[in-house]
């Protein structure tokens, strides 16, 4: 799939802190996504990216949904750091925004 995402990045702090913060206010790169599922260590967001042509061609019945699953776990090398693993689909601009956001939040 062309818009497939399989990346990970590090954030300072404990995983439960990030899960709670993202539940309350997701990062800005998820502005087109809404939370559709969660567990104690993961959050799943979904975006409807159905094109106008698809809506027209399927008489409004077809949908294209992109999902991103974020898993938050302590980094084995440094337990004070959270490794966020991302798996799913996203448009290229969302992936670029996620990369910029992650780079700005690199642990010191």
Residue-range domains of the chain with CATH = 4-104 (3.30.310)
Residue-wise pLDDT tens digits, 42-63:
999 999 876 666 666 766 667 7
Residue 21: predicted pLDDT: 95
Two structure tokens written together for 85? 């693993």
Residue 54: predicted pLDDT: 66
Identify which has the larger pLDDT, 59 or 80: 80
Please say whether the beta carbons of 38 and 44 come within 8 A. yes
Q: What is the mean pLDDT of residues 26-40?
A: 94
Residue 99: predicted pLDDT: 92
């Amino acid at each position: 799939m062309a818009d497939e995402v399989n990346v990970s990045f590090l954030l300072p702090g404990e995983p439960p802190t990030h899960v709670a913060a993202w539940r309350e206010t997701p990062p800005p790169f998820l502005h087109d996504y809404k939370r559709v599922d969660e567990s104690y260590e993961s959050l799943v967001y979904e975006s409807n990216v159905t094109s106008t042509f698809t809506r027209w061609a399927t008489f409004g019945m077809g949908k294209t949904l992109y999902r991103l699953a974020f898993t938050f776990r302590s980094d084995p090398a440094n337990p004070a750091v959270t490794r966020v693993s991302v798996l799913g689909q996203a448009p290229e601009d969302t992936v670029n925004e996620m990369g910029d956001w992650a780079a700005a939040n690199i642990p010191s």
